[in-house]
Amino acid sequence: MVDGASEAGCRPVLVVLGNSNRTASGSARGEAREHEIDLVEAISSELKKTGATIVANPNWKRGIGTSIRAGVQHLIEIAPGVEATVLLACDQPFVDHAVIDGLITLHHETRKPIVAASYAGTLGVPVLFDRSRLQDLVGLDDSAGAKSIILSNRDQVAEFPFPEGEIDIDTAEDRKRICSSK
């Protein structure tokens, strides 16, 4: 995913991860927390090889809106003149640079402020938001995702056909099923 964004010319590439601050453990809850921290640290270690900027979101358990907000706020701080942002979800295995290029090209062709992937009768991520819509992303409720903005602004959305967008990996079984079908 990070490589695809880089290959499509996206700069900077930001990855929002949960918080990795270690605290005292010992209980089952503490062991689960240690596992979460180990996972975040392993992902961070891999991402350091890519040139992506890691953005920590200590509020990730409150919902997807907190992660979007953390990433977009950081983007605005480090790249105040940014033209647009592309939101990607790490669980969509068929997103690559061609899909991201397609979103960017459609944005340039249509001049619509939102370009959303179209799949399974809906619109969603991956999605491009131009700078005029960044504050909408910052203002998301904690539990709301980008889809809420997309669907409430349909007249401002260009649709990018991406049937594979409905395929996502949420469990080890999903991953096994998708890998065996390739």
- For 4-55, the pLDDT digits (tens) are 999 999 999 999 998 755 444 445 556 666 766 677 777 877 788 888 999 9
Cα dist from 154 to 50, 84, 122, whole Å: 35, 18, 11
Average pLDDT over every residue of 78-89:
96
**Is residue 86 a contact partner of residue 95, using CB atoms and an 8 Å limit?**
no
